[in-house]
Amino acid sequence: MEHADLARWIDAYERAWRTEGTAALAQLFTAQATYRPAPYASPVHGLQDIAAFWESARDAAGDVFTMTWEPIAVEGDVAVVRVQVDYRAPAVQSYRDLWIIALDPDGRCRSFEEWPFFPGQPLSAAASGSPDAAG
C-alpha cells in the first residue's frame, strides 16, 4: 500500500460518512470485510452488516465535523492511522482514533479496526470503576 492509496481510501471513507445512505460502502469494503468499531467489540462482518452498523452509529449523514489524519505506519497492505474528528452538531464531541486498515489490491478494505479515544475517557480499569480492576 502506498500513501496515495491510503489517502484515497480515507478520503472516500469520509465522503461516504457524510453522504446519505450506505451505497458507497461497496466501493470502500470487500463483500466479506470485517469492521471492528473498538478493540474489544465484536467485529461486524460483511457489507450488509457494516451498512446497518453505519446507519445506527451516525446521527445523520449531515453531521457537522472536521476530520484530519496522519499515517503512523504502513507495512505491506496494512496501515495504522491517527485520526482526529471534531463534531460540532448535533453534539459537540472530539475523538482521537487509531485506525488499523488492511486493503486488498483493488483498494477496498478487507479489515478495519478502530481504537476510539475521547476527552474524559478513563485511562485505567481502576479509574473506570470496572469490577475487573486489580486491587
pTM comes to 0.86
Q: What is the CA 64 to chain-centroid distance, rounded?
A: 17
Question: 3-state class of 93 per DSSP?
Answer: strand
Would 108 be classed as within a structural domain? yes
| CA pair distance 76, 67, nearest whole angstrom | 25
Position 129 scores a pLDDT of: 62
- Whether 14 and 5 have beta carbons less than 8 Å apart is answered as no
Question: Looking at the predicted structure, is the pLDDT value of residue 114 above 70?
Answer: yes
Amino acid code (one letter) for 56: S
Q: How many domains does the chain have?
A: 1
Asked which of 42-46, 66-70, 120-124 is least confident by mean pLDDT, the reply is 120-124
CB neighbours of residue 38 within 10 Å: 11
- Which CATH number does the domain housing residue 44 bear? 3.10.450.50
Position 112 scores a pLDDT of: 98
Would 14 be classed as within a structural domain? yes
Q: Domain span at residue 55?
A: 3-23+31-118
